[in-house]
Amino acid sequence: MENPVLRRLPLITGILAFTMMIVSGAYALVSLQLMVDGIGTQGTIVDTVRYGLYDHYPIVRFRTEAGAEVEIVASEYHEHSPSYRIDGHLPFAVGDEVPLLYLPDSPGEAKLDRFEELWGWPVLALKIGFGLAVLSGLLAILRARYRKRNMPHGIDPWYFIRGSS
């Protein structure tokens, strides 16, 4: 492995894995804060908004405890989401009520009280981080086997780590 990028590939993928796990933890903390400190309420689907060619996102209106009326776009609950269709049918229509969670100081960032909405991003980031960690480990093992097989006899095995000095 003469190429310096290939030599450092296990380290690079390990750093990316660690970063994705930190991102997952940050998303999970936001969801936990919403579940612990959030206020549960019911919202009504008032319309849908179209993004791109095929995606339609429901617009949900709800009233806070303070009496303010708020509208949000349920971004994690759209037409191409696996949770959007149940047996080929849309699970809700305009006028349906859906459960919501919101923080009193930021009701505009409310989320549907559904697993996909609260835990979709943390789980996805964790899966990517775990996959990168496994890849990093496999690359490190392959690199170690390659070095061991191609190491000339009589050379210090730590030579490649310490360098030539």
How does pLDDT run across 27-43, given as a tens digit for each residue?
999 999 999 999 999 99
> Containing domain of residue 95, as a range?
4-162
* pLDDT value of position 21: 96
Which residues are paired to 48 by β-bridges? 58
Percent of the chain whose predicted confidence (pLDDT) is above 90: 45
How many helices and strands in the chain, by DSSP H and E?
3, 5
First to last CA, the chain: 20
Q: 113 or 162, which is more confident? A: 113
Angle at the Cα of 51 from the Cα atoms of 43 and 25, rounded to 5 degrees: 65
For the cut 80, the answer to whether the pLDDT of residue 160 exceeds it is no
- Domain count for the chain: 1
* pLDDT value of position 125: 94
**Mean pLDDT, all residues of the chain:** 82
* pLDDT value of position 86: 47
CA 98 to chain centre: 23
For the cut 50, the answer to whether the pLDDT of residue 101 exceeds it is yes
- Contacts for 101 with CB less than 8 Å, ≥ 6 apart: 34, 35, 38, 39, 40, 41, 110, 111, 112, 113, 118
